[in-house]
Structure 1
Amino acid sequence: MDLISGLQEVTRRMLVARGVRSSMVDVAGQRLHHYELKGSGKGPPVLLVHGLGGTANGFARIFFGLAKRFERVLAVDLPGHGFSPEYCLGPTCVRGQYNMLVEYCRKVVGGPSFVVGNSLGGALSVQLAAEHPELVKALGLVAPAGADVGHEHFVEVLQAMDVRTAEQSRALTRRLFHRPPMVMMLLADMVRGIYSTPAVKALSEDALATREYLKPEVLQALSMPVLFVWGGSEKLLPRQSLDFFRSHLPAHSRVRVVERFGHIPQVERPNELLSELVQFADASGL
């Protein structure tokens, strides 16, 4: 077991010790790992969806705060991420991951939920809300990917995530955070393993080949409450992504640009992200 895998397992065991259920579920022929925490709040279930190369563990520090406000908190490891085994549906890898998310919502979540997606998870969550609004009571987008801002920008992002040297690993780590924790910089070279898995490579290659981006009309048609959170210190996605979402999200959306948020605030500033999510839920009557 390598160091990153060991740290992931330590996090899992700590969550389980605090009452979070960690289990494998069968979804459309694929085994998926997920977390579930029973909440004490009256809000709907919350589903947390990570990004490319991320894991459900990335949301660990907001589980318990969300559980005070909502009835259930769920976080799933997408195929080939975290503790979920590798799986990719041939040339339509991104669509395959999306289909798994849809079936997970149907089989495991079992009803409309507050879906919160980060990065690639944000793009998948938008598509989920657009195609299956019966599964999404409200939508939270945290530095979502998928904006149609020109293929050259998309290629630059994927190139930044194609890490092959220690220096490239450190450069990517700096782009993910407002201010990278020292421990993350010391472990930055381990990022190479995270972003070189078969799932990450297949997803990147598929995205480059298909050039499928979120369409303005898809965003404009979203009828449920929508929260959009962008980091004032976002360094991975291009600034044009913020402009794209601002221009095309429906007028009822709550758009927040938060200072000192980087690309993964659930890891770096969990309390502040939790506050954004709860304030949105309160204002939306969830």
Structure 2
Amino acid sequence: MDLMGGMQKAMRRVLVARGVESETVNVAGQAVHHYALQGQGRGPPVVLVHGLGGSANGFGRTFFGLARRFSRVLAPDLPGHGFSGEYCGGPTCVRGQFDVLRAYCAEVVKQPALVVGNSLGGAMAVNLASEHPERVKALALVAPAGAELTPEALTSLLGVFAVKSNADARALTKRLFHSPPWAAMLLASEMRKFYTTPTVQALAADAIATQASIAPQAVRDLKMPVLFLWGGSERLLPPEILTWYRQHLPRQAEVHVVEGFGHVPQMERPDAFVSHLVGFADRAGL
């Protein structure tokens, strides 16, 4: 029995019952599942981009809080994640994922948005803002990847995703949270399925092979409002990433190290996560 798959589908049913649209759209030749919720606020659309091995469901508990402040809330499952089909993109797996995100913003979102990226999604959000600033009204980075690391540090980081046993799955789960939920620890063996998909393994291997990172100048040249959130309990990414971003983020960027946040605050502390985004939007005049 696919317990985690069943739980993911159950969460989707709950979201749909509460008015969230769940559909699959064709983007850049890929079938991409996404959630969309019409908001009551006057702010721009919000696009929520998950990280490696994650899914749009990880943001599910933030949808309704965000909808009170913004005009739309959208959360795609990147190819090979969530309810989107497996995909790598050949020898340029990371770039292929980014191309799908870029096309999604152009063809589905269709207007400048507050783009919120977590982990690998944060790195892709930076690239989107750098290469297509017309698509990004403001940028929120939540424990983003993409900083320049030594080959040894990058290999060590991505090696965490080489989940080969239940013990490996539990160790990775502990790294994601400030205080790992008991259910997540009990189901860690099931969570192996998220980290061992062909897409996740290909993305990790590609990042190591290409030493993928963001050019510092791309970060320095960002012109839109930028929010950077880093968890005081961050255990997945090395502190060198926080240091690198602090060195290169533009002057207008807000940087907050938040106590009680781990790597995925949208899952563990959704109300506080929404509060940070709404406060940022208010200060930026969105």
- Cross-structure match for 1:161: 161
Aligned length: 286
Of stretches 238-247 and 208-217 in structure 1, the one that deviates more from structure 2 is: 208-217
Structure 1 residue 111 displacement after superposition: 1.0
- Cross-structure match for 1:244: 244
Hey, what's the Cα distance between the residues in 1 that align with 2:272 and 2:148? 28
Hey, what's the Cα distance between the residues in 2 that align with 1:159 and 1:216? 24
Of stretches 211-220 and 123-132 in structure 1, the one that deviates more from structure 2 is: 211-220
Whether 2:14 is the aligned partner of 1:19: answer: no
- Cross-structure match for 1:205: 205
**Equivalent residue letter for 1:113:** A
**Equivalent residue letter for 1:279:** G
Q: 8 Å contact 2:121–2:144 — kept in the other structure?
A: yes
Hey, what's the Cα distance between the residues in 2 that align with 1:87 and 1:173? 24
Structure 2 SS opposite 1:6: helix
Unpaired segments ≥5 residues, structure 2: none
Structure 1 SS opposite 2:262: coil
**Equivalent residue letter for 1:92:** T
TM-score normalised to structure 1 length: 0.99
Q: 8 Å contact 1:41–1:68 — kept in the other structure?
A: yes
Q: 8 Å contact 2:44–2:112 — kept in the other structure?
A: yes
- Render the CA deviation track for 1:125-159: whole Å, top value 9, x for unaligned: 00000000000000000000011121211111111
- Cross-structure match for 1:48: 48
- Cross-structure match for 1:99: 99
The residue correspondences of 1:185-264 to structure 2 (distance < 5 A) are 185-264=185-264
- Render the CA deviation track for 1:197-229: whole Å, top value 9, x for unaligned: 011011111111111211211100000000000
Q: 8 Å contact 2:51–2:119 — kept in the other structure?
A: yes
Q: 8 Å contact 2:219–2:249 — kept in the other structure?
A: yes
**Equivalent residue letter for 2:161:** M
Hey, what's the Cα distance between the residues in 1 that align with 2:28 and 2:50? 20
Of stretches 189-198 and 256-265 in structure 1, the one that deviates more from structure 2 is: 189-198
**Equivalent residue letter for 1:89:** G
Hey, what's the Cα distance between the residues in 2 that align with 1:104 and 1:139? 16
Q: 8 Å contact 1:163–1:191 — kept in the other structure?
A: no
**Equivalent residue letter for 1:240:** E
Hey, what's the Cα distance between the residues in 2 that align with 1:28 and 1:145? 24
Q: 8 Å contact 1:116–1:122 — kept in the other structure?
A: yes
Hey, what's the Cα distance between the residues in 1 that align with 2:150 and 2:45? 35
Structure 1 residue 20 displacement after superposition: 0.1
Runs of 4+ in 1 over 4 A off after TM superposition: none
Hey, what's the Cα distance between the residues in 2 that align with 1:228 and 1:32? 27
- Cross-structure match for 1:137: 137
- Cross-structure match for 1:179: 179
Hey, what's the Cα distance between the residues in 2 that align with 1:264 and 1:162? 19
Hey, what's the Cα distance between the residues in 1 that align with 2:126 and 2:240? 18
Percent sequence identity over matched residues? 60
**Equivalent residue letter for 1:195:** Y
Hey, what's the Cα distance between the residues in 2 that align with 1:149 and 1:164? 25
- Cross-structure match for 2:110: 110
Hey, what's the Cα distance between the residues in 2 that align with 1:278 and 1:192? 34
- Render the CA deviation track for 1:231-276: whole Å, top value 9, x for unaligned: 0000000011000001100010010100010000000111111111
Hey, what's the Cα distance between the residues in 1 that align with 2:230 and 2:104? 27
Structure 1 residue 169 displacement after superposition: 1.0
**Equivalent residue letter for 2:114:** F
TM-score normalised to structure 2 length: 0.99
Structure 2 SS opposite 1:209: helix
Structure 1 SS opposite 2:87: coil
- Cross-structure match for 1:68: 68
- Cross-structure match for 2:120: 120
Structure 2 SS opposite 1:105: helix
Hey, what's the Cα distance between the residues in 2 that align with 1:207 and 1:251? 29
**Equivalent residue letter for 1:18:** R
**Equivalent residue letter for 2:124:** L
Structure 1 residue 162 displacement after superposition: 1.0
Hey, what's the Cα distance between the residues in 2 that align with 1:29 and 1:243? 38
Structure 1 residue 181 displacement after superposition: 0.7
Hey, what's the Cα distance between the residues in 2 that align with 1:31 and 1:166? 31
- Cross-structure match for 1:9: 9
Hey, what's the Cα distance between the residues in 1 that align with 2:169 and 2:242? 25
